[in-house]
Structure 1
Amino acid sequence: MSVYKVILLAVDLSSESKQLADKTRDLAAANNAELHLIHVIEPLSFAYGGDVPMDLTTIQEQLDEHAHSKLQRFAEQLDYPVKAQHVVTGHTETEIHRMAKAVDAGLIIVGSHGRHGLALLLGSTANGVLHGATCDVLAVRVRESEADEADATEDADAGPS
């Protein structure tokens, strides 16, 4: 008997997203589940408070196209059939919840950096998804990629500028 018939994997398409692939594939295969992928693009107007004195439509369209191609490559690397790939624009947690309901997901999988202190108090995407979901949520601990760790080490070694 399958515990999860539909799984929704939410990815930010960063280098860390690859760390979710194996666990997602194993869970989906063990449950013979239908797998959906979602990537949410926050509108540029969110980042700038809507006070941008120019039309951002072309840039937003380019971001959408880039996200579609990256999500396609991610899906190809999963080595598991993907029912649908969803690239949506909006508030990340809200869109993940909306899509989970739309596809009747029994499980949402998200990456979590396991932040502590102030970053934890301010919240994270995984935390936001967990607290508004109407289904199970699996937060998979992801580690910084080696390139990101090297950059952080170099920044720390450089000292104050």
Structure 2
Amino acid sequence: MSKKYSRIMVAIDGSHEAELAFKKGVNVALRNNAELLLVHVIDTRALQSVATFDAYIYEKLEEEAHSVLDEYEKQARESGIENLRQIIEFGNPKPLLANDIPEKEGVDLIMLGATGLNAFERLVIGSSSEYILRHAKVDLLVVRDPNRTL
């Protein structure tokens, strides 16, 4: 039994495995003639100790996110993707990527890299991919780098 996906969300966090998820996402979107959503969540948990909602910091992070997503969008369009949108959100990436954004956008497939953080960060705050795996209500494809060593 094969399922046709219509709206595919790829979580982009700047990691190598997120880039691999993006490349697979482009291929899946092309095969399914689906809309591709490039999503980046700016993790405000890490900014709470900096300055209470310093607008400059948030603006700078948003500019950087747009720059990264613009490059991914360019690559996707060059590959033949016509239906594509960028989404940037502020907050906790785990619930936003697992439920909030997929529900709001009608996503039927989430694609993300297996590890976007280093080993110490995963130990301290936990793996986003693990959280999304346990909480997402739609299909999920976790992309791994076959050459990665732990």
Offset of residue 123 of structure 1: 3.4
- Indicate conservation of the 8 Å contact 1:108/1:137, yes or no: yes
TM-score in terms of structure 1 length: 0.74
- Indicate conservation of the 8 Å contact 1:37/1:84, yes or no: yes
Which of residues 120, 125, 130 is equivalent to 1:127?
130
> CA 1:54–1:82 in structure 2 vs 1: closer, same or farther (change >3 Å)?
same
Offset of residue 17 of structure 1: 2.9
What is the alpha-carbon root mean square deviation over aligned residues?
A: 3.0
Partner of 1:20: 21
Q: In the alignment, residue 18 of structure 1 is paired with which amino acid?
A: E
Higher relative contact order (CA 8 A, sep 6+): 2
Q: How does 1:1-161 map to 2 (within 5 A)?
A: 3-43=4-44, 46-47=45-46, 50-52=48-50, 56-78=54-76, 79=79, 80-96=81-97, 97-113=99-115, 119=122, 123-142=126-145
Offset of residue 14 of structure 1: 3.1
> CA 1:54–1:107 in structure 2 vs 1: closer, same or farther (change >3 Å)?
closer
Q: In the alignment, residue 46 of structure 2 is paired with which amino acid?
A: A
Runs of 4+ in 1 over 6 A off after TM superposition: none
TM-score in terms of structure 2 length: 0.79
Offset of residue 19 of structure 1: 1.7
Report the Cα distance in structure 2 between the residues aligned to 1:6 and 1:24, rounded to whole angstroms: 11
Report the Cα distance in structure 2 between the residues aligned to 1:105 and 1:24, rounded to whole angstroms: 13
**Identity across the alignment (%):** 30
- The aligned length equals 142
Task: Give per-residue Cα distances to partners, 1:50-77, cap 9 Å, x unaligned.
Answer: 3445652211111111111111111111
Deviates more, 1:11-20 or 1:57-66: 11-20
Task: Give per-residue Cα distances to partners, 1:1-41, cap 9 Å, x unaligned.
Answer: 86211111111023443222331111111111111110000
Report the Cα distance in structure 2 between the residues aligned to 1:56 and 1:114, rounded to whole angstroms: 25
> CA 1:126–1:55 in structure 2 vs 1: closer, same or farther (change >3 Å)?
closer
> CA 1:134–1:52 in structure 2 vs 1: closer, same or farther (change >3 Å)?
same
Larger Rg: 1
> CA 1:144–1:91 in structure 2 vs 1: closer, same or farther (change >3 Å)?
farther
Deviates more, 1:26-35 or 1:8-17: 8-17
Report the Cα distance in structure 1 between the residues aligned to 2:104 and 2:62, rounded to whole angstroms: 21
